[in-house]
Chains A and B, each alone.
Chain A
Amino acid sequence: MADGILFSTLTALANRLAAGELSAVDITQAFIDRTTAVDGRVRAFNSVNPEDALAQAKAADERRAADQSRGALDGLPIALKDVIAVKDQPLTASSKMLEHFVSPYDATVTQKLKSAGSVLWGRANLDEFAMGSSTENSAFGATANPYDLTRVPGGSSGGSAAAVAAGEAIASLGSDTGGSIRQPAAFCNVVGLKPTYGLVSRYGLAAFASSLDQIGTFTRTVEDAAVLLGGIAGHDPRDSTSFKTEVPDYRAALAERKGPWKLGVPKEYFGVGLDPEVGAAIEQAIAFYREQGCEIKEVSLPHTDYCLSTYYIIATAEASSNLARYDGVRYTHRSAEAKSVEDIYFKSRQEGFGPEVKRRIILGTYVLSSGYYDAYYLRAQKVRTLIRQDFLNAYREVDAILTPTTPTPAFKAGEKADPLAMYLSDIYTIGVNLAGLPGISIPAGFSEAGLPIGLQLIGQPYAEADLLAIAHTYDSHHDWRSRRPVL
């Protein structure tokens, strides 16, 4: 029975719960057992709390028995990236700085999932403070790719992606600042959705780069992404950047919106550095859409080559400011060596932060420092305008943009020791964050070595309903997810 649960979908499990074929406790127990069996090798989770998850599941079953079910997410176990606050539970950000931190409040997405009846299950590993592309930068050990344990799951939301891929959760939440949902989704054969900036509240998300961060979903299907997005989207007065917009029924939109669409293929995303097997898989996806009657149009995003530089200036500048709060004084690690207040800052941050976080704080501090601000930060903000304009110009001609999610499939653990080489693995995803757009990565095949390949679709601002419908057209005609990892 467990296999039919572990690799099912949110939607299918919700139907079986409604039909009385399964209980939330059955489902939750199956994921607990699976996690016990495989997580020693995958290490998707920083912490799990089976007792707490079973209590939530039991409450869901009691609601259902009393005819008070809260709908499609009630009783289904969802994992959270360990940067999303759950009251009275740990939030480590995979950093020694927050190793013993316990959240005093719920994030808005947490509150929404609780209201929907979801079983909050497991805090998923990440690159420390979401800074990285491989989940190797965790203070508590790297996560492995379930499809090849010698390879990385991607990052920074590598634990959230691996948990779904390995059958340790039916869905999960992550955060995406430069590709941190879409890149690991591509590496792990799951669907990863980064919504438009402002659609999902960031309240209770440990901040990395506030103008780029966005919470999103990992699921097995696009339909599941539509269901889960509906559960977490919406305006929140506690996040002043959250957007006042109606949240449509995304799942209903999948059936209602049939296309055919005009899809743009940016030539800059198919140049040097693109692995031929990834390129071939994307060409097949393009051919599929053409067969569906979609018009495929070459578009140009001329400032693509400048995305990486722009991103690393803006993201590190914002990070250096955001992470100033981890000062050793109020709620973080404090150095036992500190004799003065100054000492508390310098030594606690020395001990609490790992190398990548220190590197980015140093770079961000530098680009904001007196004498360099105009040359780096202000210039990057202006280039950001040009990058955003590229996308908006393309959307005059097309409904959505189609690209590979990553230049290559998952790379080997330890392979990218040079920070710049690691940064280049996000080259197709960061433009989306700079422009604030919604993007989704969906499974689109495997390399000969058996590594997953992801297709990225980029939508117009707040047009998630269309983006999901376009993605669903491909996803509902393909079955890459049935190829499970051997663990």
Chain B
Amino acid sequence: MSNIPDLNIDRVAELARIALTPAEKAEFSAQLGEVLKHVEQLKQLDVDGVEPTAHAFAVENVWADDEAQAGLSVEDALRNAPAQRDNMVVVPKVVE
């Protein structure tokens, strides 16, 4: 019996930018199918007219004064870069 037919693992992994092995795809599809079956229960509830909660205590428009403040130094910001040159992060060529 298939679980949730529309969890297209190839498409979702592509959206998530994660390469998965065929074994991972099979395992995750089955496991997430079980989880999705469980969460189907939410469809039993009538939520018409209920406002969604994004944060338990919503705070809106938190502004900071427009004042320049010291940030990370270039050295600190690049300290964990996997590859760097001339104060920049190095990546493979993007534009041919």
Contact = CB atoms under 8 A, between A and B. Distances in A.
A339 interface: yes
Interface in A417-439: 418-420, 423, 434-437
Given A435-B56, A436-B57, A362 B13 contact: yes
Interface of A: 100-102, 104-105, 196-198, 211, 237, 240-241, 243, 303, 305-306, 308-310, 312-313, 320, 324, 327-334, 338-341, 343-347, 349-350, 353, 355, 358-359, 361-363, 365-366, 369, 375-376, 378-386, 388, 418-420, 423, 434-437, 461
B79 A104 contact: yes
B40 to A, nearest CB: 8
B10 to A, nearest CB: 11
B83 interface: yes
B92 A320 contact: no
Contacts of B2: none
B26 interface: no
Given A312-B35, A385-B51, A362 B9 contact: yes
Contacts of B15: 365, 369
B68 interface: no
Contact of A334 (B28, B36, B54, B82): B82
A327 B81 CA distance: 11
A395 to B, nearest CB: 14
B76 to A, nearest CB: 4
Contacts of B31: 359, 418-420
Given A211-B55, A358-B20, 19 more contacts: A303-B45, A312-B39, A330-B89, A332-B80, A332-B82, A338-B92, A341-B92, A344-B91, A359-B32, A363-B35, A366-B7, A378-B52, A382-B50, A382-B53, A388-B56, A419-B31, A420-B31, A420-B35, A437-B56
A347 B19 contact: yes
A359 B39 CA distance: 15
Given A211-B55, A381-B52, A382-B47, A362 B76 contact: no
Contacts of A198: 57, 59
A328 B82 contact: yes
Contact of A436 (B38, B56, B92): B56
Most chain B Cβ neighbours within 10 Å, of A366, A376, A386, A418:
A366
B54 A211 contact: yes
Contacts of B55: 197, 211, 241, 436
B1 interface: no
A212 B91 CA distance: 34
A305 B41 contact: yes
B12 A366 contact: yes
Nearest to B9: A362
